[in-house]
Homo-oligomer: A and B are copies of this chain.
Amino acid sequence: VTKYYTPHTHTFMNFFVVSPQGCRYVSKAAAKTQVEFDYDGPSMTTTVPGPRSQELMKQLGQIQNTGAINFFCNYEESKGNYLVDVDGNRMLDIYTQISSIPIGYNHPALLKVMTNPNNLSTFVNRPALGILPPENFPDKITESLLSVAPSGMTRVQTMSCGACSNENAYKAIFIWYRNKERGPNTPTNEELNTSMINQAPGCPELSILSFMGGFHGRTLGCLATTHSKAIHKLDIPSFDWPVAPFPRLQYPLDEFTRDNAEEEARCLEEVEDLIVKWRQKGKPVAGIVIEPIQAEGGDNHASPDFFRRLRNIARKHGCAFHVDEVQTGGGGTGKFWAHEHWGMDDPADVVSFSKKLLSGGYYHKDELQADKYPSILSRARGQGTFCAIDACDDATRDRIMLKARDKGVLLGGCGDRTIRFRPALVFKEYHVNLFLNIFNDVLAQHK
């Protein structure tokens, strides 16, 4: 146990007891409930896998590869910290479905969610959330995922699993990076046409820098950033993306202070070298992805200082910094998000999650929002209330300003295609929202 790893079981509670105010303090009542909802201790009646598990393994073997199965479970009888198998063995579970059971088996609070008649129609009708969400979707996301959003993150995209969360986060990073490069220009016909046949410039040779020992999932994009075990990667085509060393710390930490600092410096130097090298290769690094603690790769830790310096390197080179909290998020490290241990105001551009959050997705900063109107607007910039944005051409700029005036908003122009915002110093958040709603309507009509 190192100073970076401070398990604090009460924090497991946080996700499900967060109040509407996003309060992160532990509910003593909920903690008590969980303690009561538990068995007394393990109880082993057979070796594991027992005869019933072995029988079922043979049955399932006719249908699927069963090479990874440990044993078959009786989830009805499992409770709290105890997993019960089909042979009646009851085990204290310190692995929890690869870190995916936040508050124990069959917790009453979760059973209540699953059996709440108000949730039933959403579960059973499988809504295509991106086009036809249910009425309570904005409120539900606000009350749950946004109430525990990482520092600096105001937006969240939900997904079904950890791998999809990372795949889509990478895509958001690539799109953000290309939009930066493209500036005010719209995609060319050459880009659009080449994208259809997987070729540059439409499908650019961008890369994600990852770390040896990292695990970010097994779909092909994620797998190109996963480097924990050869068996996950062997025989699968991949991308030529840079792989940096992850610090290999010596323990106990206080006896190896200087060695470990040197090791971390060496790794960071290699990160910068790789970024430069891949840029020269014509495959620029659009983003850096890292786990706060490498889990699948062997529970490898690094110091908060390492992560702070890495985050600065990302910023310096214009790479998005993506913190993969799929395994570490949800309280297991003593903070809701493991990256909170780094003590930074602006720790990441993207934070992905799944597992303990019993869902999946990624938080991201505003600028990583896939831009709604990239072909109309670009180069958003400003200081305080002194802000501006460019339209794609002068005619569009003028039309937008006129339409906005028709709806009751006065804007100014500058340069050949810029809209300038110069509100009074009594312009409050309420006015910002009022403006954005109207501006959004104008842009939607323009489209």
Contact = CB atoms under 8 A, between A and B. Distances in A.
A378 interface: no
Q: How many copies does the complex hold?
A: 2
Nearest to A230: B192
Contact of A100 (B72, B126, B437): B126
Interface in A197-244: 197-199, 202-207, 212, 218-221, 224, 227, 230, 233-241, 243
A121 interface: yes
Contact of A195 (B69, B168, B233, B433): B233
B98 A124 contact: no
Interface in A49-70: 52, 56, 58-65, 67-70
Interface string A95-120: 00110110001110011011100101
Given A73-B133, A123-B114, A138 B60 contact: yes
Given A126-B100, A161-B160, A197-B243, A131 B68 contact: yes
Given A135-B56, A156-B64, A204-B237, A97 B127 contact: yes
A219 B216 CA distance: 14
A202 B238 CA distance: 10
Given A191-B234, A204-B235, A440-B58, A198 B220 contact: no
A148 interface: no
Interface string A146-175: 100000001111001101100110110011
Contacts of A97: 125-128, 132
B219 A72 contact: no
Given A131-B69, A202-B234, A237-B204, A63 B161 contact: no
Interface in A66-92: 67-76, 78, 83, 86
B174 A235 contact: yes
A241 B204 contact: no
Contact of A133 (B60, B137, B358): B60
B199 A240 contact: yes
A68 B56 CA distance: 45
A158 to B, nearest CB: 8
B369 A65 contact: yes
B101 A238 contact: no
A33 interface: no
16 contacts: A56-B135, A61-B436, A63-B155, A64-B157, A65-B370, A97-B132, A100-B126, A101-B125, A164-B164, A175-B235, A195-B234, A195-B236, A196-B233, A206-B237, A220-B221, A239-B239
Given A64-B157, A197-B212, 4 more contacts: A63-B155, A64-B141, A196-B230, A239-B239
